[in-house]
Chains A and B, each alone.
Chain A
Amino acid sequence: MSTQNTLPLLDGIEPEIVQTLVTRREAIARTSKFGAAALAAATVPVALAGLARSAYGQAPTSVLGVLQFALLLENFEAELYKAVLGSSAVPAFNAAFAPVRATFTPTEVATVTLLRDHEIKHVNFLRAAITGAGGTPVTYDPAATFDFTGGRGSRTGPFAPATVDKLFLLAATQGIEDTGVRAYKGQAGFLLGTRTLQEALRIHSLEAKHAARVRRMRRTANPSGTAVRYSGTVQGEGATAGGPLPAASANVPQASLTALTNAFALIYAGEGNTTHTVNNGSADVALNAATLPGLSSGADVTLAFDEPLTRAQVVAIVQPFVIPTIS
């Protein structure tokens, strides 16, 4: 594609998007291992063509904006797992999770320790990436930033049973990891044409591995709850895609189960979508996976595709756990 094609393409893109694209083009030119000329001639106009708002359903954001958003989510996860394991810098967090921590088997401790260590490494990696991209990573004071009960600072929110009940904690953890998977998927398009994309993809798939392990722990604890698959995949959408919850008890009041169900409805909104759009080089083509020829008998195709969340959807999910308003 020649550079002359760039202008008509830009004409078809909403005005506020153009500035982002120009910035990205400069970023690509700086980071290209093949040289700016080759990419300017080939990759960039193609990338531009795909970035119209209609193609992705969200207004684009800057690479730094994506990284800072990811940094907040990774901080939340890392601080949660530190609290669960009793290694938080906030003594009150460690004390809060002491009851549930006492119920962990050594294998469960090993699983959560790996979760924690990965999320800490993601925080460090993202901080370095933001610095490397010319930005300043936000430093979060965990006590002033996070409330794992979903109370935005009260520390008595509806998710408080996670500190005492393992199955409630695991259900919430599954929701958090799946939110991470869907959040990265929703942001990846904004990184198209940058080196940051591959790094984000590698974090994204690791979050999916985390989610799968948590799902298997939940299913093993409740073998009849088949909505949570041994394959770690997500079946259907909305609250049911989160899988069955433990019954109400002295430790887990009904209001908390309702809050978790409502959170699942947000976390798995649209996850049952079966129509996926591919571009064949000249046109976008929407294909419904549910009606493909040659599917296995009895297959539920919603398991085979994970869906993205927009930034706004992710903010709605995590805001109850983040004390300051997420801008």
Chain B
Amino acid sequence: MQENERTVVIRDTKQLLRPATRRGFLRALGLGGTVVLLPSVFAACEDSFGSEAAPEVTEAFRRANTITLNLNNDIGIFNFAFLLEQLEAAFYEQAVASTAFQQLSTPEQELITDLRNDEVTHRQFLATALGSAAIRPAAFNFDGRFASRDTILNTALALEQTGVAAYNGAGNNLSNVNNLLVAGKIVSVEARHAAALADALDTTGVAYADLTRLTAFGADDATARDNVLEAPAVLPLAAPFINTTITPVELGALPTEPTA
């Protein structure tokens, strides 16, 4: 990639932990730059397209399948939200159709069905709002997550807590007050979902908002502040479910041709 201080290419999740990359990321964010997240970021938990793959395969894959999220404008932030809503909606659509769904109690079936409806609504709303600026539909991999009632509820819980963290983290980066309000209308629904799922799995009476269990999502119990994560910290949480080996995620083009 050409040296350009306004473009930061993230090739794997570990890179986000390196101080130089983080500085570059923040600088790009502050200067109105572009952050490019290569598919390998999303495939971080898979082997077939990791750094071990043949270079020419990896490169072809990168060129054909790259997400560009300009996190310094509202369109990019909404596209980031759209990706997460696609993920949630796809999970619930498959969950209600799974065999294990029948293991759920009647209240739990109502819960998961409501969540399916809400997340599909969010997905369709953002798709319509973004229009031609929307990223293309992603493909997802939920292998093993529909094995039982517990895997369904626990996976759903992780996805919803991720959503709360992502929206809370994105709020500061939105520039338009109407867009902020829409994000606010959605994030509290995600929070209700998360609490409902935690409560469905709970016997203690506190899991609905036990922030000591949510430090991985950025929550702080000492000050009773809920989840918050910036986008680079959210994406590794979503990565295990984003399927880049069967149906590649193809979500836009690089602003600059990578030279590997």
Contacts and interface: CB of A to CB of B under 8 A. Distances in A.
A206 B191 contact: yes
B181 interface: yes
Given A118-B224, A122-B224, A209-B195, A185 B188 contact: yes
Question: Which bucket holds chain A's interface residue count?
Answer: 35 or more
B259 interface: no
B75 A280 contact: yes
Given A299-B120, A307-B185, A278 B203 contact: no
Contacts of B133: 280
B231 interface: no
Contacts of A303: 114, 117-118, 189
Given A121-B223, A192-B180, A230-B110, A198 B185 contact: no
A212 B199 contact: yes
Contacts of B190: 205
Interface string B164-197: 1001110110111111111011111111111110
B237 interface: no
B225 interface: yes
B155 interface: no
If over half of B's interface residues share one DSSP class (helix, strand or loop), that class is named, otherwise mixed; here it is helix
Nearest to A223: B107
Contacts of A135: none
A87 interface: no
B124 interface: yes
B125 A213 contact: no
Contact of B205 (A110, A118, A202, A233): A110
Given A189-B181, A204-B187, A231 B192 contact: yes
Interface of A: 33-35, 38, 42-43, 46-47, 49-51, 55-56, 106-111, 113-114, 117-119, 121-122, 124-125, 181, 185, 188-189, 192, 195, 197-199, 201-213, 215-216, 219-220, 223, 229-233, 276-281, 284-285, 287, 289, 292-296, 298-301, 303-308
B110 A229 contact: yes
A181 B184 CA distance: 10
B208 interface: yes
A108 to B, nearest CB: 6
Contact of B208 (A42, A212, A280): A212
B226 A289 contact: no
Contacts of A215: 192
B182 A277 contact: yes
A198 B172 contact: yes
B122 interface: yes
Contact of B226 (A202, A219, A294): A202
Contacts of A49: 176
B125 A114 contact: no
B12 interface: no
Interface in B196-212: 196, 199-200, 203-206, 208-211
Interface residues of B, number: 79
A49 B178 CA distance: 11
B115 interface: yes
B187 A205 contact: yes
29 contacts: A38-B31, A42-B72, A106-B205, A108-B205, A110-B204, A114-B205, A114-B208, A185-B188, A188-B184, A192-B177, A197-B171, A198-B228, A199-B225, A204-B184, A205-B188, A208-B187, A223-B107, A230-B107, A230-B196, A276-B125, A276-B181, A281-B75, A284-B178, A289-B125, A294-B120, A294-B124, A299-B117, A304-B119, A304-B125
Nearest to B114: A231
B244 to A, nearest CB: 24
Contacts of A213: 195, 199, 208-209
B17 interface: no
B121 interface: yes
Contacts of A300: 117
Contact of A107 (B75, B185, B204): B204
A116 B74 CA distance: 36
A89 B127 CA distance: 52
B227 interface: yes
Given A118-B224, A121-B222, A125-B224, A56 B177 contact: yes
Contacts of B32: 42
B129 interface: yes
B258 interface: no
B175 A233 contact: no
Nearest to A297: B117
A280 B73 contact: no
A232 B193 contact: yes
Contact of B172 (A195, A276, A294): A195
A116 B20 CA distance: 43
B48 interface: no
Contacts of A50: 175-178, 180
A92 to B, nearest CB: 27
